[in-house]
Amino acid sequence: MNRMNAPRKITLAGLATTAALLATGCSTAPSTAELDAQAQAMILASFRDQGIAKVARLTQDLGQRACSADAPPSEALAKQVEAEALATIRWPSNAQYIGDWREGEKLAQNGRGMTWTDTSDKPAANGAQCYNCHQIDKAEISFGTIGPSLWNYGKIRGVKDIAAPESAAVVQYTWGKLWNSKAYAACSNMPRMGHMGLLDEQQIRHVMALILDPRSPVNQ
């Protein structure tokens, strides 16, 4: 909403209040639901498709609606969001979870993709943008802190051999988290890399290697 709308909003709110005060019981101020619908219509009318950025991006799914409401979702609703997200996870073909950490580092560094000036929305055109939110390799000193530090991610969790049965739980959880972060935290702020088609299987394998492979500098 831009600033030009602000005075109009106040005027409308003022009129509604006046009308409510004058009315003899048949007129009320708009309900929250009505105001939400009006705001939604205004937002939809203000944007248009441009290149790969489509207006459909404004359509919220269950988890987005639940987590952008006035109050946090109830426990039952959060559980439903997580269960639906868990069901979307596509596990890697041939149970191949791990790629090359060097490729993973390149992807983690790369914040490109999904803007209207990008000509393709295919995963190949996208970076993984992990450093936007996480510390990963200590050699990179520029990183965001919305997410927890992933320095020594695999080491701290005792991963000595990725293929060992005792590593399976953390390897699978990490894949699931990358595929659809909402499966483990309904209101997660982490992009749903696999689910939203931001990264493909092979790219996810590479970032998996970056944080889990004992040979990755992240786990030294």
Rank residues 129 and 219 by Cβ distance to ligand HEC and give the closer one. 129
Q: Which 3 state secondary structure label does DSSP give 53? A: strand
Total residues contacting ligand HEC by CB under 6 A comes to 23
Contacting residue, 188, 195, 206, 219, with ligand HEC by CB under 6 A: 188
Burial status of residue 134 (CB atoms within 10 A of its CB: 0-12, 13-18, 19 or more): buried
Contacting residue, 16, 62, 133, 170, with ligand HEC by CB under 6 A: 133
User: Which candidate, 100, 128, 137, 130, places its Cα nearest to that of 199?
Assistant: 128
* Binding window for ligand HEC (CB under 6 A); candidates: 37-45, 80-88, 91-99, 128-136: 128-136
108 binds ligand HEC (CB under 6 A): yes
Residues 20-59 touching ligand HEC, rule: CB under 6 A, are: none
CA–CA separation, 134 and 72 (whole Å): 24
CA–CA separation, 136 and 97 (whole Å): 19
Cβ atoms of residues 98 and 209 within 8 Å: yes
Cβ atoms of residues 85 and 177 within 8 Å: no
86 binds ligand HEC (CB under 6 A): no
CA–CA separation, 30 and 17 (whole Å): 10
85 binds ligand HEC (CB under 6 A): no
183 binds ligand HEC (CB under 6 A): no
89 binds ligand HEC (CB under 6 A): no
Rank residues 67 and 207 by Cβ distance to ligand HEC and give the closer one. 207
Contacting residue, 73, 114, 126, 134, with ligand HEC by CB under 6 A: 134
Contacting residue, 66, 67, 130, 186, with ligand HEC by CB under 6 A: 130
Cβ neighbours of 187 (radius 10 Å): 16
Which residues of this chain interact with ligand HEC, rule CB under 6 A?
A: 108, 128-130, 132-134, 146-148, 150, 174, 177-178, 181, 185, 188-191, 193, 207, 211
